[in-house]
Structure 1
Amino acid sequence: MRLLLVRHGQSEWNASRRLQGQADIGLSERGRSQADALQSVITGIGHCRAVSSDLRRVSETAQRIGAEKPRFTEDLREIDVGDWTGRPIDDIRAEDEAAYLGWRAGTFVPPGGEDWAPFADRVCAVIEDELRNSCQNLLVVCHGGVIRAILQRYLGLAPACVIPVAPASLSALRMGNGKLPRLELFNYLPDSLEFGAPD
């Protein structure tokens, strides 16, 4: 099975560089355009099933890229950032750079936030459930942290070693067939490269 991992397009809060966590923020105009640009790529690859976070920025992305009847689940929501929800990233970094970098590495929990390990467990429980049913290309429409949790669990890549996942980008993992999971694609965008993606 191949996991086709798509991060949602740019949200209104991505555009203003504010942390979202589980806040239900919609796509920006640019985010809608990004998702629309990815649609032909997803259609060209094809998928047998789709599963998606239930938050608006993701469900709208799923619809725009052509996900067919996705199963929506709160277990694919982004990690909860607690008291950092809605705060500008630059303010958090100015206040405590080490805490911010620790959060990015999965080793620091903002006040009222979610620990990395339980977060990764809930995300990967969805993937494990999907892996039980035969499917060539499983489309997973989700969040950047969710993709990093999947990369950690199946490839052993620590969150600190993974750059931010670009909005409306495609990553792919080849799973099963008696082989170790393999990264086939990361941060693919149909019309540009992205090296400075937002958290």
Structure 2
Amino acid sequence: MKRLLLVRHGESEWNAVRRLQGQANIALSPRGRDQARALAPLIAAQQPDLVLTSDLVRAAETAHLLGYPDAEREPGLREHSVGAWTGQVIADIKAREEDNYLAWRAGTYAPPEGELWCDMRTRIGSAMMRALERTNETALLVCHGGVIRAALDYALGLEPARIIPVGPASLTILAFPDGLARLEAFNVTGSAPILDAPD
């Protein structure tokens, strides 16, 4: 049975201050590096035969800290583009346009110059299917919170409004018995789960 291990990168410097990053190329914070190291034994136990990472530095650095410095860069695993909201503090966005922010979290609104949820969902679904075709058994995809939520929407029909933010350096597992997706794990970390993770 094939499996996809979906790992969100560790806390980034902008996550730490609740600044929306989207596709901005922001590095991990010191805490994020520790989170990735803590998750490494769980990932190693799964013995992935294919390792892909988003080409953004926070994901690639997480892959390195998990023990896969040569992970293949896959631009299709990039985070949701948030357009004009890139770099803005989440509290400021919510204070200014809370309804739009909540609609964005639910996948029904795109910020100016941002990516539509349906387009991202299609992009992520295509990247997932390519990974499944290439893996013998288990593929590790080191990516982003929005990417994992889009993967769950694509594979299971779990709309983004029904999924909490994905914790930093957390593991979600999708299995594909008989080609149908099944959720085996969500938000598993090397320590206590983070249930109020930043976007």
TM-score (norm: length of structure 1): 0.96
Structure 1 runs, 4 residues or longer, greater than 3 Å off? none
1:130-169 equivalent positions in 2, closer than 5 A: 130-169=131-170
Contact 1:49 1:68 in 2 (8 A): no
Q: Which residue of 2 aligns with 1:178?
A: 178
Q: Which residue of 2 aligns with 1:113?
A: 114
State the shift of 1:172 in Å. 0.2
State the shift of 1:178 in Å. 1.8
Contact 2:49 2:135 in 1 (8 A): no
Corresponding letter in the other structure for 1:191 = S
2:93 counterpart SS class:
helix
Q: Distance in 2 between matches of 1:191 and 1:129?
A: 31
State the shift of 1:180 in Å. 2.5
2:178 counterpart SS class:
coil
Greater Cα offset, 137-146 or 123-132: 123-132
| 5+ residue gaps, structure 2 | none
The Cα RMSD (Å) is 1.1
Contact 1:48 1:135 in 2 (8 A): yes
Q: Distance in 1 between matches of 2:179 and 2:120?
A: 26
Change (3 A) 1:91 1:196: same
State the shift of 1:95 in Å. 0.7
Q: Which residue of 1 aligns with 2:193?
A: 193
Q: Distance in 2 between matches of 1:130 and 1:179?
A: 13
Q: Distance in 1 between matches of 2:168 and 2:6?
A: 11
1:5-84 equivalent positions in 2, closer than 5 A: 5-67=6-68, 69-84=70-85
Query: Between the two proteins, what is the percent identity of the paired residues?
Result: 50
| 5+ residue gaps, structure 1 | none
Contact 2:4 2:132 in 1 (8 A): no
Number of matched residues? Answer: 198
Contact 1:50 1:68 in 2 (8 A): no
2:35 counterpart SS class:
helix
State the shift of 1:146 in Å. 0.4
Q: Distance in 2 between matches of 1:117 and 1:133?
A: 25
Corresponding letter in the other structure for 2:13 = E
